[in-house]
Structure 1
């Protein structure tokens, strides 16, 4: 009994879908539609290649040297790295806060070098069980700038 009801329902649904989707169209109706003509334009010539630079090489070096505004501060470098996923300025997350680090390590060239090395090579055991992963792609100069910013938070 259930099979008869299901098969009758399926036949009715197919009929409804067939008529709803335009199943009654004939080929003569399709042949009355206008054909679209495609117009092909000739390929334009490429612009000529500039053989000489627009800016002289010595002028380019002056421009590069004068781009000091593009230099990022230590705080900006931290913001562009993954440091803030484990550290915050005033609150411990996974690792110590930057304020705790600044209180522990006074600003000195020795501490800057030591902490920059820890940032690049990673470390563990100083602030608890959580290990800081190495940041081997970070340059020594960038690591030092970041550490200088952290140590500048000492009050």
Structure 2
């Protein structure tokens, strides 16, 4: 769900960025008072109105695009989890055999120490923290991929 939302935001930002013009080519951008006056007396064309509206929308999305960029950093971890056997024992929201990812995110703060700790658990496996059912080790997984997975899980903190 978050991945689709993220892709929608990033696509929208890319489209808006590609629509940006070059003022030296004669395009006019008005401040809000000038635009209102031009719209009232009919001197502003619909194309110019659209350009101004697109710029305003792009400015409004600046904060959202920064959040989307941060979420995009966790996309690799989400994909790695989806391609692994993790989902046979874990779910994002509900406990299955092991804890839900949101439970893990709520237990551990998002910092390098915990990312490394969880990456180690993903690679080496373990038992005892969430009960006596052991987690299967994943020794063929690289440390960096395990870190990406841990970052994604910790990003789910609510």
TM-score category (smaller protein) = 0.5 to 0.7
Over the aligned positions, Cα root-mean-square deviation in angstroms equals 0.8
Alignment match of 1:120 (pick from 123, 128, 136)? 123
The structure with more helix, counted as a fraction of residues: 2
How many Å separate the matches in 1 of 2:109 and 2:95? 19
- Which residue of 2 is the match for residue 135 of structure 1? 138
Alignment match of 1:81 (pick from 84, 87, 97)? 84
TM-score, scaled to structure 2: 0.52
Structure with greater contact order relative to length (CA < 8 Å, sep ≥ 6): 2
Unpaired runs of 5+ residues, structure 2, are 1-74
Q: Which runs of 4+ in 1 moved over 2 A?
A: none
Q: How many residues align?
A: 84
TM-score, scaled to structure 1: 0.53
- Which residue of 2 is the match for residue 104 of structure 1? 107
CA shift, 1:133, in A, is 1.2
Unpaired runs of 5+ residues, structure 1, are 1-71
CA deviations 1:20-77 (Å, max 9, x no partner) are xxxxxxxxxxxxxxxxxxxxxxxxxxxxxxxxxxxxxxxxxxxxxxxxxxxx610000
